[in-house]
Chains A and B, each alone.
Chain A
Amino acid sequence: MDFISLFSLIVLITTLVFFVAVFLFLKNLKLNRDIKIKETNIEARSKEMDSKMYELAILKELGDRVGYSLDVHQIMDVITGSLHQFIEYSAVSYMLLDSSKIIFKIHLEKSVHRGFIDEVRDRMLKSLGALLEKEFNESQVEELISGAILIEEVNEPVQSFFNIPIVIGGKVVGVLTVSDTQSGLYKESEMTILYKITNQASSAVTKLQEVVTTEKSKLNAMVLSMADGIIMTDLDYRILVINPAARNALSIDPFKEVTIFDLIDNLGGKFDIRGRLEESVKLKKEYSSERILLGEKFFQIFVLPVRSSPIVGVESITGGVVIFHDVTSEVEIENLRKDFTSMLVHELRSPLDGVKKISEVLKNKDIKQTSESFDEYINLIYRNSSGMLEIVNDILDVAKIEAGKFDIVKKEGDFVKVVTDRVSFYSVTAMSSGIKLESSFGTGIPSKVMFDSEGVEHVINNLISNALKYTNKDGAVNVVTFLHENGKDVRAEAKVAGYQSPNGIPENLGEGSFLVILVADNGIGIEEKNTKDIFSKFKQLDTKDKVPKKKGTGLGLVIAKSIVEEHGGKIGVVSKVGVGSTFYFTIPLS
């Protein structure tokens, strides 16, 4: 190779290398630039992240501090107190509607002059007016300034101004504003945090208000419908709550507005409501009264203090509650019990006294006794003693029933024979009263039936003797016994068995097959309203004037009911005044 070629070759290689170097250099440059761009992006995003995290932290903090407060003022104060952490301003202010006033609170971060405040105030008022489509008067505004002092020399005007409406429950209740002497501060993007905060607070308050309203109306509904009368007062004895039951108890018009004086008047001195309320509230005592008669009803009255939700150990009384508890039925039962007891005592005392007087006569040697007279006395002693024994046995049986210890012993027996025997037992009594006593039987009654013969005898005795008692001379008593087969018409079966009374027996006497026993009379009958009570211990037939009050404790039917029900059967009566009664009971066939 010669020199020129070598030289060209070297130049070529060098140029090549040079280009490669440049190429590599440029590539490197681009790479670096790319990296830098990426780095900037990452940095920007990281910053955004940070700022979002910061936002969240602030929101959370505000959330915690606002907590469960319904006091919008408090909330606004908390918000304005925290804004300086991420928004720059000379002043932060809010306006809130408070009935007819407008509360205007402005907090100065930096000193400004009076004119600045006036400008902010003016613009806020106009804003509020525009939002609510109302015109507001300067005089309605109540101003409160806090923070840095006013310095007249710092006379920069308002150059930046940002307004947010405060909305609670869908209604505008005020505005929140940040303002500054510098211009161009409040860009829309930066203000998103402000929107977020106010929205959060607003929705929190709205939700809370809704919850409170719902709970309040639930409580209201409950109090309104309560059977007990409820009256609630505050510490000044103003009536906060009075439910319909309380108005009824005190005979107060349902729509009248009530004061404590109305209550005092209507209680008419029977109960010192004001005194008791005072005691309750001042001494934190609960009070319950004796029975007090208001109108036609008896009430037990309770007075209690109203304790507000305790704030960690601190309990305050915010008013009093008066409860009117209707105890009329308890009083009635007590009275019935007293009447029943005295009736029992009377029923026993009469025959006992009779026996005593007979003894007195027989003891007296001066009184001459004929043998007929003597026999009559012995007879009377026997009858009176038997009567008393019956009453005592009845009382014991009823006591057993009430204690749940009344038992029947079912044995196989001839039901028809038992009925027949009872009817013939009473035939003499019936005849002497001029009453026709008969019995009739349906077909197909089993010859062997499981039942407590003593118990069933007791029931039939009771029903027949009652029928005879309440039927007049020339009347008739009919005892009808028949088998009811499942699915058949019990009324038709009764008719076939000999039941003639116009009183219809109930269509449905139960399920399955059972024996039906009817004791029908054409006597004085029983009033509809009494037919339920005659099987109950306390209620006795209240026959006045026209009809004589028959002797007896009235316990027989109570015991009869128990016996029948222990057999699994039903007992009842169908009756019409002046026409007669049909007592019926069933004995299931096992």
Chain B
Amino acid sequence: MESLLSNLETLLLVVFAACALVGAVLVLVLREPMRVAMALISTMVFLGGVYGLLGVHFIAAFQVLIYVGAVMVFIVYVIMLLDPRDSAVKRRFSALLVPGVIACGLFIVALGGLVWDGAGRVPRAAGGAGFTLAQFSSQFLNEYWLEFELTSVLLVAAIVAAIAVIQVSRRHHG
């Protein structure tokens, strides 16, 4: 722990990580969906901070721009549109509250234990070396061009699906 708190960077890292965790727990617990959305946004922003501290600034930028800026804003708009006096707001939790929490705990314990035990076997690289955007881009478009193309296909599919959804809703409601 001492090595963690040794310099400012790692201290900030720990703080951001803790705040992200707190935000996640709040997502689980808060009653109103708008507040839940706020908690999630905060978690994401803190995660962006973590990425920045790790040296991958463009990823941090993407996180805030795309995830927070597009996805979460969209969700916030939808929450605005829907009726707050819904039954789901009065009763937050489903019937599987207790089993779910217990299973969650067990999951964390099991996966954490596995990772902890296996931690010694993975070779540690130099760490903190980081890589530049240039390296990232060239790797992306050279070695992973196939995934890049597939993603564009996926986006086309998403657009088509969105249009179809509009058609369905139009047909249904005249």
Do A and B truly interact?
Answer: no
- Residues of A whose CB lies within 8 Å of any CB of B are none
Q: Which residues of B are interface residues toward A (Cβ below 8 A)?
A: none
